[in-house]
Amino acid sequence: MSSTTRPVVFMDINIGETPAGRLKMELFSDIVPKTAENFRQLCTGEFRVNSRPQGYKNATFHRVYANPLFSWRVPKFMCQGGDFLKGDGTGSFSIYGDDFPDENFQEKHTGPGLLSMANSGPNTNGCQFFITTAACDFLDGKHVVFGKVIDGMLTLRKIENVATGPNNRPKLVVKITECGEM
């Protein structure tokens, strides 16, 4: 399917108070339609609870992970965010309820810039996601890949390079200041 028929969403990122740039992402709606739609609606804020938009605007990237298996070779392997409920990786929400099942594992974690669902085990997808900064095949079959960065890899590298403290939490706030659909 051509990229013109797949949804394209964006996130404007601040690191601290400084604008870092925009991530522009194509969603694989033809491969994982439910997962792509959940993410799209959380980017646009069109899903509402009690008339209040739910979504990623003002959410943070709460973890920038070092690769535990190959930390000497690949210093970081993902930037995780999207917990707009608690901001610490413990919140879960989806347009389908608290969480929803894995659709499939057709796409693999083959390199940087892939958008994938963060979860706490099988069939526990919600609002949290991560973007790969390196190939990480050890995540294949465990996390649903549902999109890719099509513009903004420099912005992703800026997030990746933020110093981290305990629990891989960035020492500067990495915030999604604006998001939506192109």
Please name the residue ranges forming H helices in the chain.
Answer: 33-44, 153-160
Q: Which residues touch 1 (CB under 8 Å, ≥6 apart)?
A: 30
Active-site annotation holder among 40, 63, 115, 146:
63
Active-site annotation holder among 39, 77, 84, 129:
77
**3-class secondary structure, 66:** coil
Residues of the chain with confidence (pLDDT) below 50:
1-2, 72-74
The C-alpha atoms of residue 83 and residue 7 are separated, in whole angstroms, by: 22
- 109 classed as catalytic: no
- 139 classed as catalytic: yes
- 14 classed as catalytic: no
Residues, the chain: 182
Tell me what pLDDT residue 75 has.
Answer: 57
CA 158 to chain centre: 15
- CA Rg, the chain, in Å? 15
- Write the DSSP symbol of residue 173: -
The C-alpha atoms of residue 171 and residue 121 are separated, in whole angstroms, by: 27
- Per-residue model confidence as pLDDT tens digits over 32-53: 999 999 999 999 999 999 999 9
Tell me what pLDDT residue 1 has.
Answer: 46
Active-site annotation holder among 27, 143, 146, 156:
143
Tell me what pLDDT residue 4 has.
Answer: 59
- 143 classed as catalytic: yes
- Per domain, the residue ranges of the chain are 8-181
Active-site annotation holder among 38, 54, 80, 128:
80
CATH 2.40.100.10 fits 8-181, yes or no: yes
Active-site annotation holder among 119, 125, 146, 156:
119
Tell me what pLDDT residue 68 has.
Answer: 52
